[in-house]
Amino acid sequence: MEIERIKSGITGLDEILGGGIPKGHTVSVIGPFGTGKTTLAMQFINQGLLENENCFYLSLEEESESLMKTAEIFGFNFKKYYDEGKLKIFRLSPSDASDISSRIKEITEEFRENEIKRLVLDSASLLTMVFREDQDKRNVLFTLSKGLKDSGITSIFTGEIDLSNRQSSRDGLLEYVSDGVILLDMRKNDKNTETYLTIQVLKMRKIPHSRKIYPFEIKENGIEVQSEITLL
Ligand SMILES: Nc1ncnc2c1ncn2[C@@H]1O[C@H](COP(=O)(O)OP(=O)(O)O)[C@@H](O)[C@H]1O
Ligand SMILES: [Mg+2]
């Protein structure tokens, strides 16, 4: 059976995936800070808005005003869609820790009411950091991802990596709720004079895909993957 795909909006990434992200997947985008996770997530939302989909941005990092300003720098007109009600931005503050589980339930109820098609959680690492026990960390991720699955929403969860095992998320839990894992990383050239950004699809359920490492750049309109160049 042919799996339905949606466009990520990231030049080059859809080619690597053979046509886009499988619809309804939860995809983790993991990497160290400054590798473009937030940028990739915003670009994914921007693509949805351009396709007239209702989108949901769940942010633990930024207030909605600040997020809309960052988006504007890349030429993503979040403000317009936010004002029209097509883009929902939810700021979840880590300081509201005690309340977060009930907020997640409330948020998942909103998905269906608003016919949401795409969602971003930026970042899942900050969300799980709120809890001390692994059981609670796992619960919050499962509650959210179940709500997304039940509503057929395609989503991106961003996360930090474990610096001693760069192919895993920091708390090792994100992989379990994800249908796909994309790794963003940095590497130096041989002479140690330049740093490159790299992208690699580590896992994507239900489809064949490249596992090669590709270079990418963050340009004025967002991320561009050089899918014709592969690195070792
Ligand atoms: N307007 C821009 N043009 C080009 N590069 C940018 C721009 N804005 C941010 N960047 C690059 O993107 C990096 C931050 O990306 P971000 O998506 O916030 O990363 P992460 O979420 O992984 O920490 C910055 O360190 C900078 O190198
Ligand atoms: Mg970020």
Q: How far apart are CA 143 and CA 66, in angstroms?
A: 27
Domain containing 212 equals 5-225
pLDDT category of residue 148 using cuts at 50, 70 and 90 = very high
3-state class of 122 per DSSP? strand
pTM of the predicted protein model: 0.96
In-domain check, residue 232:
no
Ligand 2: centre distance to CA 2 (Å): 33
Q: How far apart are CA 160 and CA 147, in angstroms?
A: 23
Residue nearest (by alpha carbon) to ligand 1 atom 5: 218
pLDDT over 90 for what percent of the chain?
Answer: 85
pLDDT at 229: 87
Q: Could you report the per-residue pLDDT of 47-62, keeping only the tens digit for each? A: 999 999 999 999 999 9
Long-range contacts for 161-164 (Cβ within 8 Å, ≥24 apart)? 161/30, 161/31, 161/32, 161/185, 163/32
In-domain check, residue 14:
yes
In-domain check, residue 231:
no
Ligand 1: centre distance to CA 222 (Å): 9
Q: Is the CB of 36 under 6 A from ligand 1?
A: yes
Exposure string over 20-46, b if 16+ CB within 10 A, otherwise e: bbbebbbbbbbbeeebbbbbbbbbbbb
- Tokens at residue 48, please? 């949805």
Q: Does 1 score more than 80 pLDDT?
A: no
The domain that holds 160 is classified in CATH as 3.40.50.300
In-domain check, residue 230:
no
Ligand 1: centre distance to CA 218 (Å): 7
In-domain check, residue 138:
yes
Domains held by the chain: number: 1
